[in-house]
Chains A and B, each alone.
Chain A
Amino acid sequence: MKTIVLAGLTAVAVLPLAACGSSGNDGDTVKIGVIVSESGDGASIGADEAKGYDAALKSLNDAGGIAGKKVEFIKVDDKSQDATAVLKVRELVNEEGVVAVLGPGGASPASAAASVADSLQVPLIAFPSNKGETWEGKNVSSWAFGVAASGESIGEGCLAKYLDWAEANGSTPASIAIGAETDGAPPQYASGVTTAAEDAGVDVLTRQDWPADVVDLTPQMTNVRSADPDTLVVSAYLESDVQATRALEQLDMPSDNVLQCSSIVLSDYIDSVGKAATGMKFMALGADDPAKVPADFPLADEIKDFRTAYQNVFPGEEPSRFAAGSYQTAMMLRDAIKDAGSTDPDAVRDALEAFDGYEGAYSIISYTPDRHRPSAEDYQDSSLLFEYTGTGFENVSADAK
């Protein structure tokens, strides 16, 4: 009897120790969870983001780690799915004991993961933060922070940047037309463009929408031609953006009064349309073409450091904006831990929320208690306006000379 009681007491004493798992802050190592899409629809972007994390990890450890401790990334695959992202956050926190989570890289999984971060009370920093109420408003997540602005902010910042350029060149448009794809982020961009137009007193003469799988946009561009705007603003993903451009070409409409507030990789777009894009203006982040960022651009140093760190790991390769975004999440966590003076979750969370004008390789960030992603002004300040000359891109931003 005595033996049984003794065994039972021993088990009860030992159990809590066994159930602890490892702490994310053991000895000389800081463990950070990283969620990327290695498979599924988001895999191609996930591959770029993974490279950004690889560059960040080397950069952090080469500089002595975080708070003097070596950094370890526990990388997992969310398979581009919300449900898997949720499971992975739980695994990383409960089984691996990470101090924070970076990612996921997909907009929808990131929103799903944010709600789990709230319930587990662990800081989470994701690159895509343009979807849902998670990142801004009355239902904003307490523990999740985003690096990308909302679609509306992106559109608003895009037109505002263009109007700055137009004013500096004495060609402010009195009217615009908007052409937008109806799926995904482009309708949000278009909504932001409309807001910026209204704020600036610019008339929106017509808005033409089209589905992602459209094969012929001459009807929509014909309607634009009939409206006769000073500027056409296009918000689309690559394939339908190319169709829109080809429709403009087929209808012999000018391209030099077109502003692209689209979600496209510039080099892929130009490869597809070539000289048909001559004269078009493009809103792009510095991270889209790090080699062309002017020295006096606000994020020039951060982009240069990122590019150097990236090419230390991937020599001769130019990084993508997605790599810049994931890299920034890691640097933000580093700086938040530094500001907090510890890896205590509450302190790190508070330090993140206090970011005001934080400058990263991807964007400038100013958080508020009800907005955990960049604002339209942040996005505008993080961006450049490029013009395609027919042979290359020229930075024509009014504020980056």
Chain B
Amino acid sequence: MDKYLQFLISGIALGSVYSLVSLGITLAFRTTGVLNFAQGSFVMVSGLTFITLRDDMPLIPLLLLVIALGVLLGAVVERIAIAPARHLTHESLVIITIGLAEVLRGLALLTFGDRTKYTDSFVAWRPLHVAGATVSMQTLFVVLGAVVAVVVTLLALERTRLGRALRASAMDSDMSILCGVSPKMVTFVTLGVAGGLAAIAGSLLAPVTGMGFESGLDLAIKGLFAAVLGGLGSLKGALWGGMTFGLLEAFALFAVPTYSVSITLGLVVLLLVVRPQGLTSGTGARVGAL
């Protein structure tokens, strides 16, 4: 029994991180219609920055700095890569985000080197033992941190003027323009928020798995799968998709570790065959919705 509880804990921790990545992808998709393949690279760069500065700064200021840098990264990427290409097709914008991911990968290699880097947990407290399973402090921080980030993001979208503007633009961009909402501002803010969410994910994940210049691609693929699994375009779906993906991955690692990636992605494909619209009905999950 304790073994299965341990896998559940592992799955929830992984799922929390994937939910953050998937939420960033979904936010960008809702406002731009583009799947951002660079989201995983945002997480990777943030994680490596966190690790690099860990010994030089106290934890809270470091987290705030990394989040601020993440927001800045998302905003800069929007200005120099997405905004100038706004008139292009969605397919072209996707290619641009793939190129961005590669550029960030190369820059990370130059800046941080080719070795995976590691850092200690946020606090050096002993793990909790619950019903035969063990919950490390970092696992708790990952889950709590992800929950807080998601709740704050959803509340901001719901209760702030800016959040309402973003939602309006996502629902009907032409009408929102007529109401004075600037589409440029919407994209700028959305990608900034996506960068911030990625920074939180990277900082939470870095002490658990380490981070290397190659980590971005893996995270991007898993985040995209999670977003589609949850129902592409649905914010709630991003969360459900991320959590489900994390649990599936933990199950696969337990069952057949050598083929865990194939099994996880295979199960996701199977779920989508059974329910093509995703776990919640997303706005853009239908084939041919373009």
- Please give the residue numbers on chain A whose beta carbons come within 8 Å of chain B beta carbons, in ascending order: 182, 208-211, 213-220, 222-223, 226, 239, 242-243, 246, 249-252, 268, 272-274
Contacts and interface: CB of A to CB of B under 8 A. Distances in A.
Contacts of A218: 6, 9-10
B116 interface: yes
Interface string B8-31: 011001100000000000000000
A216 B134 contact: no
Contacts of A208: 257
B182 interface: no
Given A216-B14, A219-B254, A272 B210 contact: yes
B126 A274 contact: no
B261 A211 contact: yes
B134 A250 contact: yes
B257 A214 contact: yes
Contact of B210 (A210, A242, A249): A242
Nearest to A211: B258
Contacts of B134: 250-252
A217 B208 CA distance: 10
Contacts of B117: 272
Contact of A209 (B13, B118, B257): B257
B253 A219 contact: yes
A272 B13 CA distance: 22
A211 B260 contact: yes
B124 to A, nearest CB: 10
B174 to A, nearest CB: 43
A249 B136 CA distance: 8
B3 A243 contact: no
B127 A268 contact: no
Given A216-B250, A219-B254, A226 B210 contact: no
A210 B257 contact: yes
Given A219-B253, A223-B3, A268 B120 contact: no
B75 to A, nearest CB: 29
B203 interface: no
Contacts of B139: 250
Contacts of A211: 257-261
Given A215-B209, A243-B209, A273-B118, A251 B127 contact: yes
A242 B120 CA distance: 12
A220 B253 contact: yes
A242 B6 contact: no
B94 to A, nearest CB: 25
Given A250-B138, A251-B127, A219 B257 contact: yes
A337 B112 CA distance: 47
Contacts of A249: 136
Contacts of B14: 215-216
Interface string B126-149: 110100001010110000000000
A215 B249 CA distance: 10
Contacts of A213: 218, 261
